Structure 1
Amino acid sequence: MATSIQSIGINALAIGSQTASAVVFEPFDLPPSNQRQLGAPHPIGTTIPLALRPSYAGIENINLGDVITTVKGLQSQDKLLTKQLALHGTILFRGLPIHNADDFSKFAHAFGFKPHEIIGIVVNRPVLAPNISPASEAPKEFLIHSHNESPQVPHAPGYIFLYGHRVPARGGETPMSSSLELFRRIQDEIPEFITELTEKGLLSRITYRKERLYTGGSTLREAFGKEIVDGDDLATRRSKIEAQIARYGRGTHTTWEWLDNDEGIVVTHRLPVIRTQPSTKLPSLFTGLAIFYQDATANNPTSSVRRNITEQMYGDGTPIPDRYLRRLVAITDEIRVLHRWEQGDVLVYDNIIAQHGRQPWEGEQTDRVVMASLFDGDEVPGPYGGADWAQLVRALEG
């Protein structure tokens, strides 16, 4: 069983049967403030992000069709881009001919991943193009701390694509960091926290209500009501919502309780925080606890509402000590880099091993427009420890 990450040599990524007019993705360096070398267990010299830009031989203008052909060709060669994501955690593509949501959708789908169906969504994601939505519609002043996508539900995407359609003059950076490195640092510095997470897991309790409670948040119908039609009575609506929750397929590890007066539902999951990368079996701290701690300590209206919607504690129902959460946040900040967006940039995250977030920005809310696209991986993360709640499964088709 592999227990280390193997380095994949890269000078330039190109299709094996490259023609004179083919696109080549060449690596390039970013300023130290936007790129860093990852710590253990990553191989020495591995950077986050891997920064790539297209290079043409004999062609003056970049063509999206040629870029897509190259992406598909690289993925047909033993999934070369997927392997780079598994090594670096994040890839930056700069200088692509992507100008709108449709262009972004075509590029993201070229990787060959299966679009991710979000079940139990906690943020609003209106559709802009096939499998494309706003990354976040939270107010510009609100800090979204580093996290893996969908850590509070059992069914999380394997890959996240972010496209910078409009970028602010100041602020609005997107963090990136390694969940593998985060686990190693926490294990070295506060091993008792790792022991407790392994033994207890996480209890995630989410309240879904009929009405949207904060800007960018979701409603109960957006979360679980895809089969509901106007005219359904109360019993029918509840039956359809419960059927969607049951698609998690986790038995007693996912339960729910209806609120009075048809106001909503509280869904509780027992989840693993520590999950393993399928290719290496290395442990990854897959978590949104930094956001939870931010919401618990921040003094602003959005954080207060979010704090009342999502509760997180140890799997046995006991609170997670603040001293652990404070150190978790501090280490996360130490090992992250902030991506300074240029218009047209695309960031691709391996969600099992890389965290993202969002910094506040100055100016207008509309000065920053970042779109997102979520996809499933070929495998779900593996368990860490022998508890039955530690094994995740793909949500049932429905």
Structure 2
Amino acid sequence: MNDYEFPLLVTAPTAGAWLPDYLAGRRQAMEAQLARNGAVLYRGFAPMSGEQLDALVGTLSSASFKNDEESSPRNHVVGNVYTSTNYRSEMEIFPHNENSYKKEFPMKLFFYCMHPGSEGGETPIADCRKVLARIDESIKARFQEKKWMYVRNFTAGIGVSWQEAFNTERREDVEAYCREQDIRFAWQDEDSLKTWQVREPLLSHPASGEVSWFNHATFFNIQTLDADLRDSLRDMFGDDALPHNTYYGDGSPIEPAVIGELRRAYLAESVPIKWETGDLMVLDNLLTAHARKPFKGERRIYLSQTDPLDRAALAERAVAAESAA
């Protein structure tokens, strides 16, 4: 794999330059940079409001991403701009690709720093092409053969409710969505829902054809949590009713040694980004995973997700490419 800057750093031509003016007419160039580098960080430009960010994102995207099936708590800011996550500041968030468990996912992610916080709060990013290169061939083959399964239990009072995740109060709407999105489901009681879906672990980039490790198999697996939280959740729910867990696509458990290797692959490729006020980092979501370090103080990072992409054709290309390699 050829060397390239990760992320590609683009600094303001003059201190306090206006980023929307700088990027006017440069969408195609930015997309080419994303397909090669996986991430572009714009730094040193004048701060923007949420409204101005939303307008800029609109000029750099083909469509906004409708975020049903949400797994992270967020607040709406304006337009297609949301808070990045509302998880507690002391929590570390493991690398992941946004919405990689869905039939349709956002191709571009726009992270904007309104305020970096007083300490910590870095956003590590990892090139998933290089993550894939670190994974043992036997593990890749097992995942390609079996795929991976995401099992989710929506339990009243725990995490995101099914009403929040699916943006509805109507069970029939949830059922219609699940059928359309190839998600199996079972109502446990009045307020509880179980869903499970099987997805491909590898996808091929639509521009370059490069194959990327694109899934939540590690992120949502119970073994990825720290020991105290893992034990607490198992005591509360048992393995069958955990809020989130992953398996091989046939429902068999992913071995601890495999999860350990996958974790090491992500962490070995992680590059921490220390935020500065006014930073805009654009990620190719198919190529680049992101994470979050714990922080202190007021940290405000906004997120906009755009350019929806259906995974089916990309998965078929990835299988063909890996078979030929």
TM-score scaled by structure 1?
0.73
Q: Does residue 257 of structure 1 match 2:191?
A: no
Could you tell me which of 72, 97, 122 is aligned with 1:123? 72
CA distance in 2, matches of 1:173, 1:318: 35
Equivalent position of 1:382 in the other structure: 314
Shift, 1:245, TM fit: 2.3
Could you tell me which of 240, 248, 252 is aligned with 1:318? 252
Structure 2 CA distance for partners of 1:303 and 1:177, relative to 1, 3 Å: farther
Shift, 1:293, TM fit: 4.5
Could you tell me which of 133, 144, 161 is aligned with 1:198? 144
Whichever structure has more strand as a proportion of its residues is: 2
Shift, 1:302, TM fit: 8.6
Q: What pairs with 1:109-120 in structure 2 (closer than 5 Å)? A: 109-120=58-69
* Stretches of structure 2 lacking an aligned partner (at least 5 in a row): 321-325
Shift, 1:154, TM fit: 2.4
Structure 2 CA distance for partners of 1:115 and 1:293, relative to 1, 3 Å: same
Structure 2 CA distance for partners of 1:269 and 1:294, relative to 1, 3 Å: closer
Equivalent position of 1:286 in the other structure: 214
1:124 maps to amino acid: P
Shift, 1:351, TM fit: 0.4
Could you tell me which of 84, 88, 96 is aligned with 1:135? 84
Could you tell me which of 209, 218, 224 is aligned with 2:160? 218
Structure 2 contact 202–213 (Cα < 8 Å) conserved: yes
Equivalent position of 1:52 in the other structure: 10
**1:41-69 Cα shifts (integer Å, max 9, x gaps):** xx23x01000012215xxx8634xxx324
Shift, 1:168, TM fit: 2.2
| Matched positions, count | 311
Structure 1 contact 296–303 (Cα < 8 Å) conserved: no
Equivalent position of 1:162 in the other structure: 111
Structure 2 CA distance for partners of 1:295 and 1:185, relative to 1, 3 Å: closer
Q: Any idea what SS the aligned residue of 1:291 has? A: coil
Shift, 1:304, TM fit: 4.9
Structure 2 CA distance for partners of 1:51 and 1:340, relative to 1, 3 Å: same
Structure 2 CA distance for partners of 1:195 and 1:121, relative to 1, 3 Å: same
Percent identity between the two aligned chains:
21
Structure 2 CA distance for partners of 1:302 and 1:129, relative to 1, 3 Å: farther
Higher relative contact order (CA 8 A, sep 6+): 2
Structure 1 contact 96–344 (Cα < 8 Å) conserved: yes
Q: Supply the RMSD in Å over aligned alpha carbons.
A: 2.3
**1:343-382 Cα shifts (integer Å, max 9, x gaps):** 1111111000101010112x34xx2111111012566460
Shift, 1:312, TM fit: 0.4
2:23 maps to amino acid: V
1:53 maps to amino acid: T
TM-score scaled by structure 2?
0.88
Q: Any idea what SS the aligned residue of 2:20 has? A: helix
Structure 1 contact 225–240 (Cα < 8 Å) conserved: no
